Amino acid sequence: MNSNDVLPFVIFAGFLALMAAIIVFSVHYAKKRTRELTAVAQQIGLRFVGNNWSGPSLSAQHKVSLLQRTRGRFSNAMTGSSGGLDISVFDYTYPAGKSSITQTVAAFSQDHPLPPFALRPENFFDRIGDAIVHNDIDFDSNPEFSRRYLLKSPDEAGARRLFTPSLLTYLEQFQTIWCIEGTGSTLVVFHGGRSVSPSDLPAFLEETSRMARTFFASDGLRKPVA
């Protein structure tokens, strides 16, 4: 067998070895992350329930949340309560083309129902799409918010009541734009496509909790419908 015959076998063997190394590393990383998150959950007063969890309670009337629009799986879930809010923090993995996306998500629930909405960073293609279908809710009072965020809702009037000028100004302060979704009495918060390291989880929970309380305390949430 000459070198030309051997080369394909060498390449194939190298490919198999690389794939095996990636799988071993992924399994090791996943187990390490679970161990560290279990320890962090105790530190921040949450109960670690792992992968044996079906997700937060979401309204079935309007499927505005990423958790409802994609077929994903939950892992490393932690649950508890703080300051009158039921809290869930978890990793969510869903398919995206030929790959998958994993991100850390925080979900907060309380007694006041939210209008259904989905808020995320606005990009160039969103602006092109909005010029055609006009489905982005903008606010003349806060052009900076409207420039940076894409807000969609099947209940535009309800969304406009919730997003008062003070709430819009609050959201404008963030350097990194969050993805925020309201469905039923649950608010879902995450950075798109980003998982949070165990060491950063306390800060993540603190910031998202503050955000949830700001939403649930919005004057627009309690205004009677005219």
Cα–Cα distance between 157 and 115 in angstroms, integer?
Answer: 9
The predicted model scores a pTM of 0.83
Q: In terms of Cα–Cα distance, which of 68, 85, 49, 116 is closest to 208?
A: 85
Average pLDDT over residues 134-160: 91
pLDDT of residue 5: 64
Report the C-alpha gap between 101 and 193 in whole angstroms.
6
- Domains of the chain, by residue range, sit at 3-222
pLDDT in tens, 51-98: 989 999 899 889 999 999 999 999 999 999 988 899 999 999 999 888
Q: Read off the DSSP letter of residue 199.
A: G
* Distance set, CA 51 to CA 34, 48, 78, 118, 160 (Å): 10, 9, 10, 26, 37
177 falls in which pLDDT band (50, 70, 90)?
A: confident
**Contact present, 181 and 150 (Cβ < 8 Å):** no
Q: 15-46 pLDDT, tens per residue? A: 555 555 455 445 557 899 999 999 999 999 99
